[in-house]
Amino acid sequence: MTPEQYQKRFIEKHLQFIELDTAGSVLQNTGRILPIQKGQNISEAHPFFESLEPVFTALDAPQSLHCVNLDLEGREVIVDIQVHPADKGFMLLVQDLTSHYTGYQAVAQERNESIIQEELIVLKNAELEERERFKNLFIQNFSHELRNPLMSSMAITRILSESPLNTEQQHLIEALRETNTHLKLMLEDTLSLSMIASGKLELKPVLFDLKKMLDVLSITYKTKAVSKGLDFELSSHERVPQWVEADRKRLFQVLTNLLDNAVKFTEQGKITLEVGFNQQYANKVNLHFSVTDTGKGIPEAKKNTVFETYSQLTSPEKEQGTGLGLALVKGLLTLMDSEIQLQSTVGKGSVFSFDLEVKVPVESGWKATLEKDADSIRQKTTVRGRKYRVLLVEDDERVLTVLFKMLMETGQFYLDVLSDGAQVLEQVIENPYDLILMDINLPNTRGDQLTRIIREFPFKNVERLPIIGITAFAYEDHLKAYKASGMNAVIPKPFEKEELLDTIFSCLKS
């Protein structure tokens, strides 16, 4: 086929020239796009052309109509139409652009869908962020509201345990103490998970006695195991170092959650905590921790879901717990650059394990650190030779009663008590206190705001007065902000009497 033939074929297929008289009748027709014959009225080709009559009557210059959709005998055609004035009437140029517009529409549709999809992703992320923000805010408020009554319950339980009780009452107090401890652990787990999810949990490596921590775990879980008729064994490799540098609190949290899980799901047999030695290089040691049980085991299909938040193998009616433990373990180990491993056989038991890299102190440095810590402990104990005047500021009557009793029992404090933050400044100016113990969330003002004002006092050495904050807000961000306000220390509720007294005497000595 010659170029001329190709050109003629293309023009016949895609272009059509139609000459019309002033009444719209066809005078000449070249092309096969519109099914129209010479002598027919253009409106017979398609009803659309009836709408062109106003254009024909008023036409004094060429007019263009774009993307006209026509149904021609069951065939969808998209054309551009140009109308030109002619000697005897009008000239129509009809151009078939179906493939062009179809392709353009496909591209536009794909682009629009892509834009819509991007917008949906943005909206979904915004929704997830809002839900996460609401969840974290709820947990913060929930934690705050729960900590005050929990602290009161724990303190009153301890006070009762130190009073004369018969055997039955002692058992009841012990049950209450275990319940309080369980509630405190669940509260800490919930808060830790929230902090992990929001990226606000920071690891705090410290030098600690790993073997002593393992001994504490062994004593605790041997008692729990015996109460269920189980055996417990602690196995530690001879090369596991005694002193290591890591986040003791978070490692302890991981191991207690794994051991609690093992005890809960084991009805007979044995629980084993094993600490193995992998390798050592420079001042770092890689250790292998594993918790083995002879419990019911975990089906293959459930091995991934057990690490999800609020996931439990059985219904809540059958097993107690929140479903947070293993999710927390996974989150904490991820922060520690480790990963939890699971091997389990249904009916035989499970093994949860992980490898963890910790630092070991240099010989010349760690002894000096330990001697410094021991000297600090000696100083704390020797500072208790006189009575100190303390201003106690707390608006919760139950917590105030507990704190008052804790401090008065030591016989080392004169206490002035306030429940309204507005009275603190006047009291501090008029009286020579050795220390202020103050709640953060007070009526009329806040403890951290009062601390900032006190630190700016220019007289009577008031600006150097030790201030300890107590708070039911336990997020790391909160604690840092309170310390930044000028407080010497901040104690999250609930706390034990020993923690309170150690903090007080540490601040008095410093």
Tell me the whole-structure pTM to 2 decimals: 0.56
Residues 6+ apart with CB under 8 A from 46: 34, 70, 71, 72
Q: What is the pLDDT of residue 106?
A: 74
Domain hosting residue 85, numbered range: 3-96
Q: What is the pLDDT of residue 413?
A: 92
Contact between 91 and 15 under an 8 Å Cβ cutoff? The reply is no
Segment holding 469, helix H or strand E: strand 467-471
Is the pLDDT confidence value at 2 over 80?
Answer: no
Rounded average pLDDT over 63-79: 83
Residue 122 lies in a domain: no
Structure tokens at 482: 């309170």
| CATH number for the domain that contains residue 131 | 1.10.287.130
Is the pLDDT confidence value at 334 over 70?
Answer: yes
Structure tokens at 6: 């190709």
One domain for residues 342 and 402: no
Q: Which amino acid is at 427?
A: Q
Handedness of CA 241, 247, 252, 255 (dihedral sign): negative
Is the pLDDT confidence value at 483 over 80?
Answer: yes
One domain for residues 92 and 21: yes
Residue 101 lies in a domain: no
Residue 458 lies in a domain: yes
One domain for residues 424 and 502: yes
Residue 105 lies in a domain: no
Integer Cα distance of 321 and 325 in angstroms: 8
One domain for residues 280 and 176: no
Q: Which H, E and C letters describe 79-112, residue by residue? A: EEEEEEECCCEEEEEEEECHHHHHHHHHHHHHHH
One domain for residues 333 and 458: no
Structure tokens at 127: 């929704």
| CATH number for the domain that contains residue 9 | 3.30.450.20
Domain final position from 96, 114, 139: 96
One domain for residues 216 and 353: yes
Handedness of CA 194, 136, 184, 323 (dihedral sign): negative
Contact between 253 and 358 under an 8 Å Cβ cutoff? The reply is no
One domain for residues 355 and 493: no
Residue 372 lies in a domain: no
Domain final position from 176, 197, 218: 197
Residue 355 lies in a domain: yes
| Cα 161 to Cα 131, 164, 170, 357, distances in angstroms | 43, 8, 7, 41
Pick from 39-48, 186-195, 433-442 the range whose average pLDDT is largest.
433-442
Is the pLDDT confidence value at 381 over 50?
Answer: no
One domain for residues 82 and 45: yes
Q: Domain count for the chain, please give it.
A: 4
Residue 366 lies in a domain: no
One domain for residues 222 and 190: no
Other C-beta atoms closer than 10 Å to the C-beta of 13 total: 12
Q: What is the pLDDT of residue 460?
A: 62
Could you identify the residue written with the tokens 């059958």?
A: 318
Q: Which amino acid is at 52?
A: L
Is the pLDDT confidence value at 491 over 70?
Answer: yes
Q: What is the pLDDT of residue 370?
A: 52
Residue 43 lies in a domain: yes
